[in-house]
Structure 1
């Protein structure tokens, strides 16, 4: 019997040691080692399709990010800028391509950051959840939030291209929609003019008793300021098939609704009711696009009216 307990003890110790080792290796790889594409030479954005790579953070060279751009020949300083946030596939170039014709017709400078991550299926917190917390649950400083990276990119393009715009617009679909609505909620001081969150998989509700990302517990959220921002919750009338894309089915996610259309509706009205209860200004809108499902190209086309006006 003693021999059995000694064996069990050794197995437990070995298991704990292996788990600790994997945790240390994972932390070092994700949060210590430099990663990302090679930094490109500083240059102005060319007309047509272009890209550049910069450091994601202003205080560190540990992480770089590739940024895709499209600029019409007719675009000039003070014309509108639109950040386009990709979905869970991290395919920023595809999203950029979907906006090229729209950019030409409406004279828009398109900026599409690529939050590349080899383990994106398992570490969604680094993108659509804003990188507020590490994969292991520790808080990240605000200067390393994914939302801050967007602001850093805006500063970069302004300085390098002598752009004087004080605001930018932002559109995100699916995982990108999650990114956008959380950025508005958690970073209302950002320089967003119009934010459009399209077909998000699930939402952060204004509930202080729910842990992030389902609620705002342990976050310094100022909803009164967030509600002053112009956020459009863009929903597809046919986006009611949970089998499309990556769809979270945890108990807390399912409480928001059985599909994306229902969840988006829940999110909007819960926030509107809270703003009404507190007599706060509420500058959010909900718009349901008829005959459109989980389609980022068609949702992009539907976003244009909100950006133009």
Structure 2
């Protein structure tokens, strides 16, 4: 049992014996439940002395620049050789429900022997689309300027690499790279991560059902294009040569879908729904890469009969990421 669990038990016992005269022995049932919940060995509040196994969660505060904005990390480690096991980051949508994504991926993690790591960027610390979808690159990502550009260490994107290092230590894992599966708002995060983090050790990114995109077009201002963003100073060969897989459900065509951004420019330029916008992003990016004679490794994966529920697309995503060719 963890040390913190013993402290919790002692505190509960003290409260019980001090208050039983007032509330009677019914308090015992409540305290017993609290002790049981608090002493879950797979729910570590301090992971730094814990080797990850099974299914659980921990608070990550190991990235110093964002230490005051902790990230709850839900994980599932299948049985097998954890030292060489692939690591998959699963990034949630705007509901910030990482535990649901982790749980949905458990059977696939077991099937393909992949460690599932699902960080939760809570709205408390990573408020709104600016801090999550747009990676906190600017004070206001919808109105970028050189004077409001955040230092790179404060970008939300900058937390992924040190978290990978932490997971490797906690798993005793030796992998050189990791993969990303992301859905909806998470897919917005990840396709921008690919462009803004050229040194990231990511192997493949499965970006599923993004609501809209930052097209690598330097004639369109960020966040719909890359003008006025740090992306313009980076070599397109790097991000176009990454294995970015754009997954979209064939029926993800509802223009009134909850949380789907609409404005005059976006609707006219990228389309009215996620399906149209994904195809536009892929085709436009392919055209830009061809015109610059850049290598282009991005792929499009349309899932038949699927709409916007990630549970209907993750099997195809897992097969694309891990099934033998």
Q: TM-score, normalised by structure 1?
A: 0.83
CA 1:119 to 1:165, structure 2 compared with 1: closer, same or farther past 3 Å? closer
How large is the RMSD of aligned CA atoms in angstroms? 1.9
1:194 correspondence with 2:194 = no
Q: Which moved more, 1:271-280 or 1:157-166?
A: 157-166
1:263 aligns with 2:257: no
CA shift, 1:39, in A, is 5.9
Deviates more, 1:134-143 or 1:158-167: 134-143
Q: CA deviation at 1:75?
A: 4.3
Match of 1:297 in 2: 311
1:236 touches 1:291 (CA, 8 Å); kept in 2?
A: yes
Q: Answer 1 or 2: which has greater helix percent.
A: 2
Judge conservation of contact 1:173–1:199 (CA < 8 Å) in 2: yes
Secondary structure (helix, strand or coil) at the match of 2:49 reads coil
Q: Is the 8 A contact 1:54 1:64 kept in 2?
A: yes
Contact in 2 for aligned 1:75/1:109 (Cα 8 Å): no
Aligned to 1:127: 132
Question: Where do 1:33-112 residues align within 5 Å?
Answer: 40-55=46-61, 57-59=63-65, 61-112=67-118
In the superposition, the TM-score normalised over structure 2's length comes to 0.79
2:130 is paired with a residue whose SS is helix
Identify the residue that residue 241 of structure 1 maps to in structure 2.
254
Partner of residue 244, structure 2: 231
In structure 1, list runs of 5 or more residues that go unmatched.
1-37
> For the Cα contact (< 8 Å) 2:78–2:110, is it kept in 1?
yes
Question: SS at the partner of 1:110?
Answer: strand
Indicate conservation of the 8 Å contact 1:58/1:152, yes or no: no
Partner of 2:223: 213
Name the structure 1 match of 2:170.
160
Query: What SS does structure 2 have at the residue aligned with 1:76?
Result: coil
Cα offset, 1:147, TM superposition:
1.4
Runs of 4+ in 1 over 3 A off after TM superposition: 43-46
In structure 2, what is the Cα distance between the partners aligned to 1:125 and 1:75?
A: 39
The alignment covers a number of residue pairs equal to: 271
SS of the residue corresponding to residue 64 of structure 2 reads coil
Structure 1 match to 2:30: none
Q: Distance in 2 between matches of 1:228 and 1:78?
A: 25
Q: In the TM superposition, what is the alpha-carbon distance from 1:43 to its structure 2 partner?
A: 3.2
Does structure 1 residue 272 correspond to structure 2 residue 286?
yes
Secondary structure of the structure 1 residue equivalent to 2:280:
helix
Q: Secondary structure at the match of 1:262?
A: helix
Q: Is the 8 A contact 1:57 1:144 kept in 2?
A: no
**1:151 correspondence with 2:161:** yes
Q: Which residue of 2 aligns with 1:307?
A: 321
CA positional deviation for 1:115: 0.3
Spell out, residue by residue over 1:96-125, the C-alpha distance to the aligned partner (whole angstroms, 9 max, x if none). Answer: 0110111111111000010001487x7211
Would you say 1:175 and 2:185 are equivalent positions?
yes
Distance in 2 of aligned mates of 1:180 and 1:60: 19
Which segment drifts farther, 40-49 or 71-80?
Answer: 40-49
CA apart distance, 1:47: 2.5
